[in-house]
Structure 1
Amino acid sequence: MTKIYDLHCHSTASDGVLSPTEVVQRAAEQGVNVLALCDHDTVCGIDEARLAAKEMGIELVTGVEISTTWEGRGIHIVGLNFDKTHPKMTALLAQQKALREKRALEIGEKLEKAGIPNAYEGAKTLANGEVTRAHYARYLVQLGKVSNDGQAFKRYLGQGKSAFVKAEWVDISTAIETIQAAGGMAVIAHPLRYKLTGKWIRRLITDFKTWGGEAMEISGYGQTKDQRQMLARWANEFGLFGSVGSDFHFPCGWVELGKNLDLPEGVEPIWERF
């Protein structure tokens, strides 16, 4: 039987809307055999997810999605199959937590100046951990300021808007070094979603490989067959393993756990190195 892998999803431990247990249960319902919970800059949901996975008969891979800065842009690096208690990982995630909290407070201050008081407190009621822009977006929808999360980013939270605060994250090389020190593998998350030209994506992959990165996500949601083939060619050209992940955050009509995540032929799967 062919296994179904989904090595990138989120829970209420960061900006997802389902608890770690609910994510695992949904994955089981969708026929997923191997799952990685990759919450943003936290591993707080892993223990709960592991218990649920044991009950559901799913193999759970330890995961995290680390926010990094590269050439002035935010780039996400997924870590897979590492020791979440390793001192270097613990220290890095504590640093990221402090940076995320600082940013969240500044966003709240900007929203207050825009006529929306107590936004931080409101967003915090929707968060199980650190407050993210996604929680602010949901709170703005709840207030009736916007009709959906996307509109919240277009009107308030996106770059250049009144409540935008530039993130201050670690660099990619630090993220890779930390993941590998903890015994894991580093993966470029969703390479085509950074609004980069092909030239700049190749430059990103080149730097990632130079710093010791090992894999890139090739199959995700919303891709065409041609896009997957292009990513597969780049993976082979740069000697990177291929990974797959839905980047599931909440039940919706366009993203589902384990759905359409086939890896193109000719790419070496990252899970063969777990």
Structure 2
Amino acid sequence: MHTLNADLHCHSSISDGTLAPEVLAARAKANGVELWALTDHDELRGQHRARAAAAALGLPYLTGTEVSVTFAGETVHIVGLGFDPDDTRLAEGLARTRGGRELRAREMAEDLARVGIKGAFEGALKYVGNPDLISRTHFARYLVEIGACRDTQEVFRRYLTEGKPGYVPHRWAALGDAVRWIVEAGGIAVIAHPGRYKLTPNQEYALFSDFKEHGGRAVEVVTGSHTAQDYVKYASMAREFGLLASRGSDFHSPEESHTDLGALPYLPGEVQPVWTALQERVLRP
């Protein structure tokens, strides 16, 4: 089971990816993915399309989403896998989480206008179409388009991180709420890419402890933004906290993502893969 090429974290154009769910499914299949999940940010609208596309390709599928959470003043992401995509409480919770995005985006645009970048809200909206789902990534693409920066990484460095002119914090869902929505919809909650968060060791320990206490059951060990040292560290933390291990590229776009769908190393042998607990939730062709 450790050598299953599972990719359980990626994004479509329904949130902040650039490819349609059907194109992602085809890319996953072509890249040798054997179990796939689409995990758009705070959104379920792509689930039936992704499932249908995967079924047509003979690709086993797990439902997915990635919930934005505020923990210790940081934005932390919780992936949900294998839930009922039509669960109303989960849908309502995600809608509330998305609801603050437009207001935050308008504040970001005002901040950018003060440093001479006009029309950023409308420019970012071109890349998403739905103000409920507008994110920093869409602003970054617009700033690259108008030549303000060379690439999206430079935009984040210069404008969209804490202390920079376009950064506006957002209060996301509470950790316990996010985990509960996923679990009550029949899914498993997963801490996404823990190596990315700027948490102190004590805060990270608190995140894992609280997550487990709320009913969270897994952590991403192998993911696009993790280093080889991170694989070792989070495999060890998975064992310490009795958590299952997940694997996902966090693929967004062929132009922007460092790691393609299906291109990650396999999970290390000493952890229990999350998909072993999700066998009954896998949607098979």
TM-score range normalised by the length of the shorter chain:
over 0.9
CA distance in 2, matches of 1:147, 1:76: 27
- The 1:33/1:128 distance shift into structure 2, 3 A limit, reads farther
Asked if 1:167 is matched to 2:157, the reply is no
Deviation at 1:249, TM superposition (A): 0.7
Mapped contact 2:84–2:185 kept (Cα < 8 A): yes
Residue 146 (structure 1) aligned to one of 144, 149, 152: 149
Aligned match of 1:219: 222
Q: What is the SS of the residue equivalent to 2:41?
A: coil
Q: What is the SS of the residue equivalent to 1:61?
A: coil
- For residues 28-54 of structure 1, what are the alpha-carbon distances to aligned partners after superposition, in whole Å with 9 as ceiling and x for unaligned? 110101111001111111122112111
Deviation at 1:122, TM superposition (A): 1.0
Asked if 1:181 is matched to 2:188, the reply is no
Deviation at 1:222, TM superposition (A): 4.6
Mapped contact 1:66–1:77 kept (Cα < 8 A): yes
Mapped contact 2:63–2:82 kept (Cα < 8 A): yes
Structure 2 residue identity aligned to 1:180: V
Asked if 1:72 is matched to 2:76, the reply is no
Asked if 1:190 is matched to 2:193, the reply is yes
Give aligned pairs, total: 274
TM-score between both structures, scaled by the size of structure 2? 0.91
Q: Which deviates further from its counterpart, 57-66 or 194-203?
A: 194-203
Aligned match of 2:206: 203
Structure 2 residue identity aligned to 1:117: K
- For residues 12-66 of structure 1, what are the alpha-carbon distances to aligned partners after superposition, in whole Å with 9 as ceiling and x for unaligned? 0111111111111110110101111001111111122112111111112110000
Asked if 1:88 is matched to 2:92, the reply is no
Q: Which deviates further from its counterpart, 47-56 or 136-145?
A: 47-56
Aligned match of 1:50: 51
CA distance in 2, matches of 1:74, 1:52: 31
Aligned match of 1:12: 13
Deviation at 1:128, TM superposition (A): 4.4
- For residues 128-185 of structure 1, what are the alpha-carbon distances to aligned partners after superposition, in whole Å with 9 as ceiling and x for unaligned? 4421100000000101111111111122211111111101101111100111111111
Aligned match of 2:273: 269
Asked if 1:254 is matched to 2:258, the reply is yes
Structure 1 residue identity aligned to 2:268: P
Determine which structure has greater relative contact order: mean sequence separation of CA pairs < 8 Å that are 6+ residues apart, divided by chain length: 2
List alignment gaps of at least 5 residues for structure 1: none
Aligned match of 1:101: 102
Asked if 1:115 is matched to 2:116, the reply is yes
Q: What is the SS of the residue equivalent to 2:154?
A: helix
Mapped contact 1:63–1:81 kept (Cα < 8 A): yes
CA distance in 1, matches of 2:169, 2:60: 37
Mapped contact 1:82–1:184 kept (Cα < 8 A): yes
CA distance in 2, matches of 1:95, 1:222: 28
Identity %: 43
- For residues 78-124 of structure 1, what are the alpha-carbon distances to aligned partners after superposition, in whole Å with 9 as ceiling and x for unaligned? 00011122121111111012112221122122222222222111111
TM-score between both structures, scaled by the size of structure 1? 0.95
Structure 1 residue identity aligned to 2:127: L
